[in-house]
C-alpha cells in the first residue's frame, strides 16, 4: 500500500559540530531511510547518520533538564537563565538531543545546523546585549532563507548536488529573529513549494503527526508544528498561502498566527503565490506567539505590502493584550459557509468539536452567532474572484533575483545550470504540451499532492495558467486583483458590522487529520483540508489555538479572525480562550517507527 510504505522514507540534513572549525559553509550530511518516496524517487543524497548531542549531557543533568524544559515557554526559559540554572549551551544541546532522539521517526527537521547553533549559544553565554528571544532555540521553515543553508522549498530540484539553493543572506524575518537573540537549530520539512495540505516532499519525504506518526500533521508548515509540539524547539516560523500555518497548528495542538498581511515581511521566503503568502510564528502558547510577533513585525522596503504598517497596526507590545477576561462581552460569528460549502464539506466529528468550542466561548462570556445569512457560500465565490494567477512568476522572479545563489538568479539561469526548467507550480507558467503529455508537471518530480479546492484554487491550477505579467506594469491589475480584493474585504467588514461582531470563529480544518497509511478516497492522502483560504485573499489576521482532542486522540484547532490590523485584540481573545480551556497537552513520542525499516 503506497501510503504505508511512505511512512519511513524521509531524510534529514545535519551540519556537525566539526563544521565550527571551518571558515566557509560546511558540506551538508544527509540521512535517508531506504524506502522510496511517494513519487517513486529517492531523495537526492545519502550519507551517514548524525551524531547525537545527547552524549554531551550527563544523565543526572539530562533528567533535571527534561523536567524543567518540557513545555517551557520564553518567560520560563529566561527565568531559568536568570537563576543561572542552565547556560544557553546547555539548553541548545538539550534541544539538539531531542531532535537526534526523535527525528528519525517523525522526520520534521530537514537540516540540523549543529555547528552554528552551538557557536551562537557559546557566544551568547559570554555576554552582550539580550534581546527578547535571547537564548531561545528555534527552527525555520525550508522556504525561508537562512544564510549558508540549503533553502530547498521542499523540492529535490533545489537540493541537487552542485546546484543547491544556498541562501547568501537571511530572509527579513530570520534576520529579525537572529537580532533578537534566537538560536537557530535548523530547517523544517515541508511539501514541494508549499503546494500541499500534507507534509510530503520530494526532497526529504514525509513528516508524521507527533500525536500518531501514521497520521498527517497537515501542510505546508507540518514540519514546524511537529517540531514545536514535540519540544524539539521553543518556536518556529510557518508560511501560509491558503491555510498552511493555521491548519497544521490545529492538527498538532499548537498556536499558529497569520498576521494582517503587511504586518510582517515575506521578503526572502520562496513564494507559492506571493500575493497570498504570509509568515508568522508558531509556538506552544499564545504568550510566546505575541512575543515573537513583536520581533517579526515591521516595515521592509523589500515587501511593498508592509509600507505604512507602523501607522496601521495596533500599538505594541502585543503582550499588553493578553488578559484572561478578553472574551467577556465580545461577539463572534461562525460563517455559514463552514456548514454549507461543497468544496470541503464539514465532517460530523469536526462539527461536534466546533460546537463544543462555541460552548466554551459562551462560558467565557462571549456571544456566538450562528445564522444562515452570515457569510454564506456567495462570500467564498466573491473572494475567489481575486485573481493572483497572472502574477505568480513575478513573485518567483523577485525572490530569485534578491535571494538566489550566484549560479542562478533567474528561471533561465536555473535551467541553464541544471538542464531542467523550474516547475510550473512554482513559476505559474503552464508546462509544454510534451511535458503535460508525459505527466512531468514538476520537471522531473511528481506533481505535489493537491490541496483542497479553496486552498489550492484547483487541483490542476498550473495546467491552465494565464500569461505571466508583472503586477506593477499590468493595466489589468485593478480588475484582476486590487478591485476584487477590495470588494471581498468590504463584504467581510460589512458582515461584521451588520451582526455587530468583533470577529469570527470556525475550525482550522473541516476534518480530522487523516491516516496516511491508508488510501483516502482511493488515493494517497493529501489532507486534511480546510475552508480558510479566504483569509489569504483578503489578508485578514487569524490565529489558531488548541481546542481539544477527537476521540482518536488527535488534536482539534479553533481559528479566530478579526478586522484588519486588529491583531492585538485577536491575540487577546486567543489568550483568554487558552486560559479558560487549557486544552493543550503534549504528545507522547515514540523512538522507533511503526513499520519495519527496509
Catalytic (active-site) positions: 141, 220, 244
One-character DSSP codes across 298-358: ---TT-GGGTTHHHHSPPS-GGGG--TTTTTT-EEEE-THHHH-SSSPPPHHHHHHHHHHH
Residue 482 DSSP symbol: I
CB 109 within 8 A of CB 139: yes
Here the cell at position 196 is 500541499
DSSP lists the bridge partners of residue 515 as 215
Q: Maximum CA pair distance of the chain?
A: 68
Please report, for residues 181, 367, 488, 511, the alpha-carbon distance to residue 25 in angstroms, rounded to integers and kept in the order given: 22, 55, 47, 43
Here the cell at position 436 is 503535460
Round to whole Å and give the CA distance between 260 and 534.
Answer: 13
CA-closest candidate to residue 71, choices 585, 591, 588, 578 = 585
Residue 264 DSSP symbol: B
CA-closest candidate to residue 244, choices 204, 279, 213 = 279
Round to whole Å and give the CA distance between 5 and 515.
Answer: 13
Residue 136 DSSP symbol: E
Round to whole Å and give the CA distance between 428 and 243.
Answer: 19
Round to whole Å and give the CA distance between 104 and 533.
Answer: 32
| E strand or H helix that includes residue 455 | helix 453-456
Strands 367-370 and 331-334: parallel
Round to whole Å and give the CA distance between 158 and 555.
Answer: 33
CB 329 within 8 A of CB 170: no
Say whether 548 sits in a helix, a strand or coil: strand
Strands 503-507 and 235-239: unpaired
Here the cell at position 540 is 485578514
Round to whole Å and give the CA distance between 551 and 572.
Answer: 29
Count of beta carbons in the 10 Å neighbourhood of residue 75 = 12
Q: Is the bond preceding 13 in cis, omega lying within 30 degrees of 0?
A: no
- Exposed (0-12), middle (13-18) or buried (19+): which is 30, by Cβ within 10 Å? buried
Round to whole Å and give the CA distance between 116 and 391.
Answer: 37
Say whether 270 sits in a helix, a strand or coil: coil
Amino acid at each position: 500500500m503506497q501510503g504505508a510504505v511512505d511512512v519511513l522514507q524521509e531524510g534529514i540534513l545535519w551540519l556537525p559540530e566539526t563544521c565550527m572549525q571551518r571558515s566557509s559553509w560546511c558540506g551538508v550530511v544527509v540521512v535517508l531511510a531506504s524506502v522510496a518516496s511517494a513519487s517513486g524517487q529517492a531523495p537526492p543524497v545519502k550519507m551517514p547518520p548524525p551524531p547525537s548531542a545527547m552524549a554531551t549531557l550527563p544523565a543526572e543533568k539530562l533528567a533535571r533538564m527534561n523536567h524543567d524544559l518540557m513545555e517551557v515557554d520564553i518567560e520560563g526559559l529566561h527565568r531559568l537563565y536568570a537563576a543561572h540554572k542552565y547556560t544557553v549551551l546547555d539548553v541548545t544541546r538539550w534541544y539538539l538531543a531531542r531532535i537526534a532522539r526523535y527525528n528519525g521517526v517523525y522526520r520534521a527537521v530537514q537540516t540540523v545546523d549543529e555547528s552554528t547553533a552551538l557557536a551562537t549559544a557559546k557566544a551568547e553565554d559570554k555576554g552582550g546585549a539580550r534581546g527578547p528571544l535571547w537564548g531561545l532555540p528555534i527552527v525555520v521553515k525550508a522556504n525561508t532563507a537562512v544564510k549558508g543553508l540549503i533553502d530547498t522549498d521542499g523540492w529535490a530540484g533545489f537540493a541537487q548536488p552542485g546546484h543547491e539553493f544556498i541562501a547568501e543572506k537571511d530572509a527579513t524575518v530570520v534576520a529579525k529573529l537572529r537580532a533578537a537573540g534566537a538560536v537557530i537549530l535548523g530547517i523544517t520539512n515541508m511539501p514541494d513549494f508549499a503546494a500541499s495540505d500534507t507534509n510530503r516532499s520530494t526532497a526529504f519525504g514525509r513528516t508524521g503527526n507527533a500525536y500518531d506518526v501514521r497520521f498527517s500533521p497537515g501542510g505546508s508548515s507540518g514540519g514546524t508544528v511537529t517540531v514545536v509540539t514535540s519540544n524539539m524547539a521553543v518556536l518556529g516560523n510557518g508560511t501560509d498561502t491558503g491555510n498552511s500555518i493555521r491548519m497544521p497548528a490545529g492538527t498538532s495542538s499548537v498556536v499558529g498566527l497569520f498576521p494582517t498581511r503587511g504586518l510582517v515581511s515575506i521578503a526572502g521566503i520562496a513564494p507559492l503565490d506571493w500575493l497570498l503568502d504570509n509568515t508568522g510564528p508558531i509556538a506552544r502558547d499564545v504568550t510566546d506567539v505575541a512575543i515573537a510577533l513583536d520581533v517579526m513585525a515591521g516595515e521592509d522596503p523589500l515587501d511593498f505590502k508592509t509600507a505604512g504598517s507602523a501607522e496601521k497596526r495596533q500599538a505594541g507590545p502585543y503582550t499588553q493584550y493578553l488578559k484572561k477576561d478578553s472574551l467577556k462581552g465580545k461577539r463572534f460569528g461562525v460563517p455559514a459557509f463552514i456548514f454549507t460549502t461543497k468544496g470541503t464539506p464539514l465532517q460530523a466529528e469536526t462539527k461536534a468539536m466546533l460546537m463544543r468550542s462555541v460552548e466554551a466561548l459562551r462560558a467565557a462570556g462571549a456571544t456566538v452567532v450562528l445564522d444562515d445569512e452570515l457569510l454564506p457560500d456567495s462570500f467564498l465565490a466573491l473572494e475567489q474572484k481575486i485573481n493572483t494567477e497572472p502574477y505568480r512568476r513575478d513573485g518567483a522572479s523577485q525572490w530569485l533575483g534578491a535571494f538566489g545563489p550566484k549560479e542562478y538568479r533567474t528561471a533561465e539561469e536555473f535551467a541553464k545550470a541544471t538542464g531542467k526548467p523550474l516547475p510550473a507550480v512554482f513559476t505559474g507558467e503552464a508546462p509544454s504540451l510534451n511535458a503535460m503529455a508525459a505527466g512531468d508537471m514538476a520537471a522531473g518530480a511528481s506533481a505535489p499532492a493537491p490541496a483542497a479546492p479553496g486552498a489550492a484554487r484547483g487541483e490542476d491550477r498550473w495546467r491552465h495558467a494565464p500569461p505571466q505579467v508583472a503586477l506593477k506594469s499590468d493595466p489589468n491589475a485593478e480588475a484582476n486583483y486590487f478591485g476584487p480584493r477590495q470588494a471581498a474585504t468590504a463584504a467581510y467588514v460589512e458582515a461584521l458590522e451588520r451582526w455587530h461582531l468583533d470577529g469570527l470563529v470556525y475550525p482550522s480544518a473541516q476534518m480530522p487529520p487523516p491516516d496516511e497509511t491508508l488510501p483516502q478516497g482511493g488515493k494517497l492522502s493529501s489532507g486534511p483540508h480546510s475552508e480558510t483560504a479566504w483569509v489569504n485573499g483578503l489578508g485578514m489576521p487569524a490565529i489558531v489555538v488548541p481546542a481539544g482532542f477527537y476521540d482518536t486522540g488527535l488534536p482539534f484547532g479553533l481559528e479566530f479572525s478579526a478586522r484588519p490590523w486588529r491583531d492585538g485584540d485577536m491575540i487577546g481573545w486567543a489568550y483568554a480562550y487558552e486560559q479558560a480551556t487549557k486544552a493543550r497537552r503534549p504528545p507522547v513520542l515514540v523512538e522507533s517507527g511503526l513499520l519495519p525499516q527496509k
